[in-house]
Amino acid sequence: MDEQTLISASKSGDGAALDELVRAHQGRVYGFAMRMCRNVEDAKDILQETFLGMIRSLREFREESKFSTWLYRIAANACLKKRRRGVHDPTPEQELSLDDLMPRPDAEGRKPEIPDWSEDAERALLRGELSERMETAIDKLPKEYKIVLVLRDVEGLSAEETAEAVGLSVAAVKSRLHRARVFVRRELTDYLTGERR
C-alpha cells in the first residue's frame, strides 16, 4: 500500500495498516531521537511518545503537508519537552552570536587567515576519524540550534519542512541554521588544524 492509502486505512481503524505505518517510520524517528538525546533510554521514550502521539492525533493530520514532516513535529516537541522536564542538559539555553562566531582581523587589522581544510576533512572521514568529532561538535550546540541543524542538515528536511517541524518561521530557521553551522565549523577547524597552530 502507498503511504496515502496506509494513512487513510489507519484513520479508519485498520490495525495492520497502522502497524505498517509505524514500521515505515520508526527507524527515522529513532535515528532522530538518538541524534538529539545521545542515549538509548531517552531515545526510546521519545520514540514511544512520538508514535503514541501520532496514533492519538492521526485523524487531525491534514494531508497538505508531508506525513514525515508532521511526524518530525511530534518528535521534535517530544525532544524539547524532555529537556524541560529537568533532564540533565549539558548545553543550557544560550544565544549563538554571529559577532562572536565571525573570524576577527589580526592586531594589525589584516583579514584573518582561514585555512581550507575540506580535503583534510574528507580524508579524516574516510579513515573513520571524523564522525565522532562531528557528533561531539553538534552535541555542544544549544538545543534550539541543534534541533534545526539536525533536521535540516542531518535528516535532510527542507528549510520549509524544518520550520513546520519546529514551529518557527523559515527566516528564523535559516538564522539558527547558519549560526549552528558556523559553530560546528569552528569546532571542526579547531580539530583539523589544531596541530598547525
Partner 1 sequence: MSDARKTHHPSHDGMPMTCRELFERLSDYVDGELSQELCEEIRKHMDGCDPCVNFAKTLKTTADLCRRLPSEPIPPEVAADLRSFLARHLPKPI
Which residues sit at the interface with partner 1, rule CB under 8 A?
Answer: 13, 15, 18-19, 22-23, 26-27, 30-31, 34-35, 40, 43-44, 47-48, 51-52, 55, 98, 102-103, 111-118, 121-122, 125, 130-131, 134-135, 138, 149, 153-154, 156, 159, 174, 177-178, 181-182, 184-185, 188-189
Within 10 Å of residue 179's Cβ, how many Cβ atoms? 22
Residue 101, helix vs strand vs coil: helix
Nearer to partner 1, 13 or 194 (CB): 13
For residue 6, the minimal CB distance to partner 1 (Å) is 13
55-89: b or e for each residue (b if 16 or more CB lie within 10 Å)?
eeeeeeeeeeeebbbbbbbbbbbbbeebbeeeeee
For residue 159, the minimal CB distance to partner 1 (Å) is 7
For residue 154, the minimal CB distance to partner 1 (Å) is 5
49 touches 71 (CB < 8 A): no
